[in-house]
């Protein structure tokens, strides 16, 4: 039976979950996978964490050099978070010929080209299933499940924190601040939640997933990003009355025109499978030219779900001899001939405050028409707390992003309407 020595860097939520799975399922892995996974060391300075997990004192490494110089360590698992120290330690491990498994989406998104160069140079493995969508095996699916397809679209709910917040606002009528506080209380959101609520986390993941799906480098800097901090209960209630549920959606598309990648709040129809993805769960749609639509669903974060992805990578690395790397030129920048589309097409939801008088809707429609924007659904009601004002909520046919931005600027400039909210609608 093959023995594989493992070292875990960091025993936070994910590292702790990984440690538990490796120790509690060791016999199961020997029996079913014919591999003996042995934790040779952990690198963790917080003694409370090692004590809570029952890590033997002799297994606690004092520094990264102790880990990478240990001939019994075959796989180094990086669960540190952050970028600078994690990057340094991962490179140390790869340069020592150790296979690396990481859950660090920001690190991999920003520096995969650098890490992969080191891995190739030393014939080391580099695995990152846990970097995207927690325990959902989306990366393995893209690499080994749908590789017979040309992928035209990847779309999904890939951030559990924002999905929990929007679910609280939708199902319990909470405002944004209260829903965020609840997410922080339950440990779904950090004390500084910007990475999640401003869409950075989802953008990093979409960069990784789109690069794999489309076989071309898609830097996170090319991802259009908009967070959920400006979402109001009024928008969610209006969407509900129109038959929609609001999600922070990640969308990647590839066509003959180029690649389109975007993260933003979007309304989805209540009968769409993504509408039922609630709480901290995630789901991803992949569309291939042969298989059609494939949907993967599961917990997008947490100690054991993410630890499950890490251990699966360890097992895969331990049972497959040949190392595989990117199917595309993985550089710091995209290939020169790759075109990224910023003026994408979508349907739109607009909420406006207007004077409650005859002729306003006709003038509004006229301005929108100049930008080739037509209305498919409309709600009108008296504005809350503003005498003589009305609220208009409208949904457009599919149109261009730039057209909507220009039309909104024109409406605000003319004083005909005060545009309160603009959200995209997934069709």
Q: How far is CA 42 from the centre of its chain?
A: 28
**3-class state of residue 222 by DSSP:** helix
pLDDT at 322: 85
CATH of 139-299, one of 3.30.360.10, 3.55.50.30, 3.40.50.300, 3.40.190.10: 3.30.360.10
Whether residue 404 is predicted with pLDDT greater than 90 in this model: the reply is yes
Cα–Cα distances in Å, from 236 out to 231, 268, 329, 393?
A: 8, 11, 42, 12
Asked if residues 340 and 260 have their Cβ atoms less than 8 Å apart, the reply is yes
Give the domain ranges of the chain. Answer: 2-131, 139-299, 345-425
d(CA 336, CA 322) in angstroms, rounded, equals 30
pLDDT at 27: 98
d(CA 380, CA 186) in angstroms, rounded, equals 38
Asked if residues 138 and 132 have their Cβ atoms less than 8 Å apart, the reply is yes
Q: pLDDT tens, 230-259?
A: 999 999 999 999 999 999 999 999 999 999
Whether residue 301 is predicted with pLDDT greater than 90 in this model: the reply is no
Query: CATH for 345-425?
Result: 3.30.70.260
Asked if residues 50 and 60 have their Cβ atoms less than 8 Å apart, the reply is yes
Q: Mean of the pLDDT values across residues 145-173?
A: 96
Query: In the predicted model, what is the mean pLDDT of the chain?
Result: 96
d(CA 349, CA 353) in angstroms, rounded, equals 14
Q: pLDDT tens, 59-108?
A: 999 999 999 999 999 999 999 989 999 999 999 999 999 999 999 999 99
Whether residue 189 is predicted with pLDDT greater than 90 in this model: the reply is no
Asked if residues 412 and 424 have their Cβ atoms less than 8 Å apart, the reply is no
- Burial readout 203-220 (b: 16 or more C-beta within 10 A, e: otherwise): bbbbbbbbbbbbebbbbb
Residues designated as active site: 205
Q: pLDDT tens, 12-30?
A: 999 999 999 999 999 999 9
Q: Mean of the pLDDT values across residues 326-332?
A: 94
Q: How confident is the model at residue 399 (pLDDT cuts 50, 70, 90)?
A: very high
pLDDT at 198: 97
pLDDT at 280: 86
226 Rama sector, left if φ>0, alpha if ψ -120 to 50, beta otherwise: beta
d(CA 268, CA 245) in angstroms, rounded, equals 5
Query: CATH for 2-131?
Result: 3.40.50.720
Q: pLDDT tens, 174-188?
A: 999 999 999 999 888
Q: pLDDT tens, 124-136?
A: 999 999 999 999 9
Q: Say what the alpha-carbon torsion angle 77, 316, 130, 23 is, to the nearest 10 degrees.
A: -60
Cα–Cα distances in Å, from 332 out to 107, 113, 117, 217, 336?
A: 13, 6, 11, 8, 12
Which residue from 137, 250, 153 is spatially nearest to 200, judged by alpha carbons? 250
pLDDT at 190: 85
Size of the chain, expressed as the number of residues it contains:
427
Q: Mean of the pLDDT values across residues 397-420?
A: 96
- DSSP 8-state class, residue 223: S
């Amino acid at each position: 039976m093959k023995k594989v020595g493992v070292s875990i860097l960091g025993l936070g939520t994910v590292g702790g979950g990984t440690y538990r799975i490796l120790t509690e399922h060791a016999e199961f892995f020997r029996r079913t996978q014919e591999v003996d996974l042995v934790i040779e060391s952990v690198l963790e300075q917080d003694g409370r964490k090692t004590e809570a997990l029952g890590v033997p004192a002799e297994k606690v490494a004092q520094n990264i050099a102790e880990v990478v110089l240990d001939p019994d360590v075959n796989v180094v698992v990086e669960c540190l978070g952050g970028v600078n120290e994690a990057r340094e330690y991962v490179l140390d491990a790869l340069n020592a010929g150790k296979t690396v498994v990481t859950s660090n989406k920001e690190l991999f998104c920003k520096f995969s080209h650098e890490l992969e160069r080191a891995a190739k140079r030393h014939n080391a493995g580099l695995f990152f299933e846990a970097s995207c969508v927690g325990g959902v095996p989306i990366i393995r699916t893209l690499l080994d499940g749908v590789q017979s397809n040309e992928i035209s679209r990847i779309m999904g709910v890939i951030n559990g924190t924002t999905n929990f917040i929007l679910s609280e606002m939708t199902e319990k009528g909470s405002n944004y601040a209260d829903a965020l506080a609840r997410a922080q209380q339950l440990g779904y959101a950090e004390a500084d939640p910007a990475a999640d609520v401003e869409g950075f986390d989802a953008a990093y993941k979409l960069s990784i997933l789109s690069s794999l799906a489309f076989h071309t480098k898609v830097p996170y800097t090319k991802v259009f990003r908009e967070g959920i901090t400006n979402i109001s209960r009024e928008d969610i209630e209006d969407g509900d009355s129109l038959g929609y549920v609001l999600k922070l959606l990640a969308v990647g598309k590839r066509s003959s025109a180029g690649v389109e990648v975007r993260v933003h709040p979007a309304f989805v129809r209540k009968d769409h499978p993504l509408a039922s993805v609630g709480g901290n769960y995630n789901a991803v749609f992949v569309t291939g030219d042969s298989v059609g639509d494939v949907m993967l669903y599961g917990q997008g974060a947490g100690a054991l779900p993410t630890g499950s992805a890490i251990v699966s990578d360890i097992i895969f690395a331990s049972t497959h001899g040949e190392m595989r790397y990117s199917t595309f030129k993985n550089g710091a920048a995209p290939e020169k001939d790759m075109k990224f589309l910023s003026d994408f097409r979508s349907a739109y939801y607009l909420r406006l405050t207007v004077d409650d008088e005859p002729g306003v809707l006709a003038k509004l429609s006229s301005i929108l028409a100049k930008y080739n924007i037509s209305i498919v659904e409309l709600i009108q009601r008296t504005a809350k707390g503003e005498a003589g004002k009305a609220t208009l909520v409208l949904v457009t046919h599919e149109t261009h992003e730039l057209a909507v931005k220009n039309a909104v600027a024109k409406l605000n400039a003319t004083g005909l309407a005060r545009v309160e909210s603009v959200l995209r609608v997934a069709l």
